[in-house]
Amino acid sequence: MVRFVFLKQSSKQSMRDIVRCALNIIVIRFVRIKPHCDEGIFSIACSSFCTVKGINGLFYIVPVTYGIVMMFRSILQYFDAFAENRIIGEGYHVRFGEGHAEVNAFASVKPEDEMLLNEATIYVSLEPCSHYGKTPPCADLIISKGIKRCVCGCVDPFAKVQGRGIQRMRDAGIEVIVGVMEKECLALNHRFITFNAKHRPYILLKWAQTLNGFISRKGGPLQLSTPKTQMLVHQLRAENDAILVGHTTFLTDHPRLDVRQWSGQNPERIVLSPTMSAQNARPSNWTVAATIDEVIAHLYTTKKQSLVVEGGRMTLQAFIDRGLWDEIRIETAPVLITDGVPAPHIPSDAHIEKTESIDGNQIITLCR
């Protein structure tokens, strides 16, 4: 689950007050006159100098004369533009079991900006959690920081949250707006959303095919991917929790299904084979399942949120026929063969989400 959080100062008046207060102190300390007095008093000739720290971290030595009034005014005008619409912190959920995005966002706020939190708006792609799990509730953290406004992309479908985080913040007096860029936020968290809403992993089907629709030669594999698209396949594996092939592909291709051309963790390797399951065959570092339902149950129980199905044709078609898919990626190479194993039938409810060309091959991403 990835959540991005931005803390945005919403009130320029508070910044103006902070700056005005600081400047008044400077005036009182160095010029020893009453703040907000007539400008005429500043016309008193003075040979003293004071040090003013600029917001860019530089220090300026300025003479305390009538001209300092204009400098103060310029600084206040600068802060009017500077204080509003500024991101003062951001974060994301790096890995399972560690701090959520909100925790990392608050940790990124500079000490000098912490006074702005009670005038800030926090933007979250997913509703802040409200329960104790691996980490404390993020809704409580937001409340404790004095945030006055929260913009939330989508509601968390997890059974222990489901609007409770939103309600907790509202009960604490925080203004909460829900549904901003909801489609994009749901897409950003698609694995997490699918896992909790449908009680199964997010399922991605992928295959490579020839220009005339064959995925392999009869009796043997067919190399269709380019070195670059092969690397992208390894990236895809690294981004998902499990990967599956059927019995025939396992025996004929001897696939490694690892991420050797990318950095990251190898996904759990699963072979769908009633035969091997009946024989109690257990290849090293492989999970053997007899049915699709067994695969789904295993992944849900072990909290694996995503599955890539790489083949072969009968296995891919079985998932399509069951309606068990969320995304399909098809790589088409400019190659023609006269005979071979035909590609699976594309579901009627699939629509093209994205098309890209890489090294002469076309990659189409289909979604529901």
For residues 3 and 188, what is the distance between their CA atoms, to the nearest angstrom? 8
Catalytically annotated residue among 102, 268, 310, 327:
102
**Cα four-point dihedral sign 160, 138, 174, 83:** negative
pLDDT at site 74: 52
According to CATH, the topology of domain 200-367 is: Dihydrofolate Reductase, subunit A (3.40.430)
Residue keyed to tokens 């019995």: 247
How confident is the model over 319-337, as a mean pLDDT?
97
Confidence of residue 132 (pLDDT cuts 50, 70, 90): confident
Q: How many CA atoms lie within 13 A of 25 on its CB side?
A: 9
Top mean pLDDT of 10-14, 41-45, 80-84, 322-326 is at 322-326
- Residue bearing tokens 């409580």: 140
- Within 8 A by CB and 6+ apart from 355, the residues are 362, 363, 364, 365
Structural tokens at position 244 = 């599956």
What single letter denotes the amino acid at residue 338? T
User: What residue spans in the chain does CATH classification 3.40.430.10 cover?
Assistant: 200-367
31-40, 49-58, 96-105, 225-234, range with greatest mean pLDDT: 225-234
* Number of residues that make up the chain: 368
Q: How confident is the model at residue 176 (pLDDT cuts 50, 70, 90)?
A: very high
In the CATH scheme, what is the code of domain 5-12+85-193?
3.40.140.10
Question: Are 246 and 273 in contact, with CB atoms under 8 Å apart?
Answer: yes
In this predicted structure, the answer to whether residue 194 has a pLDDT above a threshold of 50 is yes
Known catalytic residue: 102?
Answer: yes
